[in-house]
Amino acid sequence: MYSKEEVQALKKEFWTTFAETYPRKWLLYDTKIKDFSFKFYIDNKKAEVLLAVEHKDPELQKKYVEKLESLQTLLLEDYLPEAVFDKNHRLENGKVIAKIWVEKPLGFHNKNNWQDIFDFFNEKMDAFERFFYEFEDFIR
């Protein structure tokens, strides 16, 4: 079992190593759409690449979710066939967001998994970004 400090140090090493392995600028929060962002997530059980729509205005949230739902078939057929859509995803803090994600059941505690996770992050985020750039005007 790791202490809180050991987990923090391991996470820092993980993200630093990832940035060195794939040194590029990711789209992430720079979508130019408020509360519409791409994220990497890792814990001790799984790795995720995701799109989160967390708009505070319910009408705008609904608008973006409907647009993404209309593109769902294209995303699944051409970019990320394993993507999961959840327009009412409840976070641990109780907040409800729209989330589209892909997942790999590998945690960061085992350094032997890191390269597989890095490759997964790179491949899946690249696919998400290509999808976004292809349909950016429609999504806006």
Q: What per-residue confidence (pLDDT) applies to 12?
A: 94
Q: Using pLDDT thresholds of 50, 70 and 90, give the confidence band for residue 30.
A: very high
pLDDT at 4 over 90: no
pTM, rounded to two decimals: 0.92
Spans of all domains in the chain:
4-139
Quickly count: other Cβ atoms within 10 Å of residue 70's Cβ.
12
Mean pLDDT of 61-86: 96
Q: Using pLDDT thresholds of 50, 70 and 90, give the confidence band for residue 50.
A: very high
Q: What per-residue confidence (pLDDT) applies to 51?
A: 97
Edge-to-edge strand list for the sheet holding 96-104: 36-42, 47-53, 96-104, 84-90
Q: What per-residue confidence (pLDDT) applies to 3?
A: 86
Q: Using pLDDT thresholds of 50, 70 and 90, give the confidence band for residue 7.
A: confident
- 35 in the Ramachandran plot: left (φ > 0), alpha (ψ -120 to 50) or beta? left
Quickly count: other Cβ atoms within 10 Å of residue 99's Cβ.
20
Tokens read off for 73: 């078939």
pLDDT at 1 over 80: no
End-to-end CA distance of the chain: 45
